[in-house]
Amino acid sequence: MSTGELLNVEPLDLKFPFELRKQISCSLQLSNKTENHVAFKVKTTNPKKYCVRPNTGLVLPRSTCDVTVTMQAQKEAPPDMQCKDKFLLQSVVVSSGIATKDITPEMFSKQPGRVVEECKLRVIYLPPPQPPSPVLEEPNEGISPKVSFNSRSFNGSSEVRSLISKLTDEKNDAIQQSNKIRKEIELLKRGGNKSQGGGVSIILVVIIICLIGLILGYLMK
């Protein structure tokens, strides 16, 4: 903040978040410290690059005035983001009956008996705001990884189908044999009850049932 005799100026640095091909603005606040009417004028070393609104005006006693400085869209950035542009704000006490349209450049010329207060402002380019970093999503637990198939597995699909068909046929044959053996076992049981050698027939039946169970278990894998 500038603490002159007439106006307080805040801020003293015009800070622009620099972005190519984009107009950027910043503001100044002028505060009249006196009981007088104060006229001001804003000058710049690069008038084609900046637009100041208002560039001249009045600040009433103990009042404030806002000034907006707009930098035109730039096609290229300066080296090292350093800017040599400067601004000069001049202020002078005027009579209470003067209007803004009556302010002339001659009022800010230094003459005997006239106090012209000056405040120098510098331009600072700030780096453009960075976009937020993308948040990497962690893989959800419990989701099985995708199964990848190679060309060999697809080429051998016909062989797999052939093997499955063969095993199915063998399974069906085994079931038919099992049913046939069960019928024969029933007949043996009936005949064994009438014969004296029933104990030997029962042992044979148990052995045959165990063999059938082993065969079916192997085929069902």
Report pLDDT digits (tens) over 140-159.
555 555 545 454 544 556 77
Total structural domains in the chain? 2
Shared domain check, 189 and 114: no
Shared domain check, 97 and 170: no
- Among 126, 143, 176, the domain boundary falls at 126
Give the pLDDT score at 153: 47
Give the pLDDT score at 142: 54
DSSP string, 128-196: PPPPPPPPPPPPPTTPPPPPP--HHHHHTHHHHHHHHHHHHHHHHHHHHHHHHHHHHHHHHHHHHHHST
Domain membership of residue 154 (yes or no) is: no
d(CA 68, CA 29) in angstroms, rounded, equals: 9
> pLDDT band at 165, cuts 50/70/90?
confident
Domain membership of residue 65 (yes or no) is: yes
Shared domain check, 10 and 89: yes
Give the pLDDT score at 10: 96
- pTM recorded for the entire structure: 0.58
Shared domain check, 185 and 111: no
Query: What is the average pLDDT score of the chain?
Result: 82
Shared domain check, 26 and 107: yes
Give the pLDDT score at 154: 44
Shared domain check, 173 and 85: no
> pLDDT band at 175, cuts 50/70/90?
confident
The residue-averaged pLDDT of 86-94 equals: 97
Shared domain check, 195 and 99: no
Shared domain check, 107 and 27: yes
Give the pLDDT score at 7: 96
d(CA 49, CA 20) in angstroms, rounded, equals: 13
Domain membership of residue 77 (yes or no) is: yes
- Rounded to the nearest 10 degrees, the angle between the axes of helix 198-220 and helix 157-194 is 170
Give the pLDDT score at 3: 65
Domain membership of residue 144 (yes or no) is: no
Domain containing 32 — which CATH number? 2.60.40.10
Shared domain check, 6 and 86: yes
Domain that holds residue 176: 160-220
Whether the pLDDT of residue 28 is over 80: the answer is yes
Shared domain check, 165 and 120: no
Give the pLDDT score at 183: 79
Whether the pLDDT of residue 74 is over 80: the answer is yes
Shared domain check, 104 and 176: no
Report pLDDT digits (tens) over 40-73.
999 999 999 999 999 999 999 999 999 999 999 9
Domain membership of residue 134 (yes or no) is: no
Shared domain check, 122 and 164: no
Considering only CA atoms, which of 112, 16, 14, 22 is closest in space to residue 76? 22
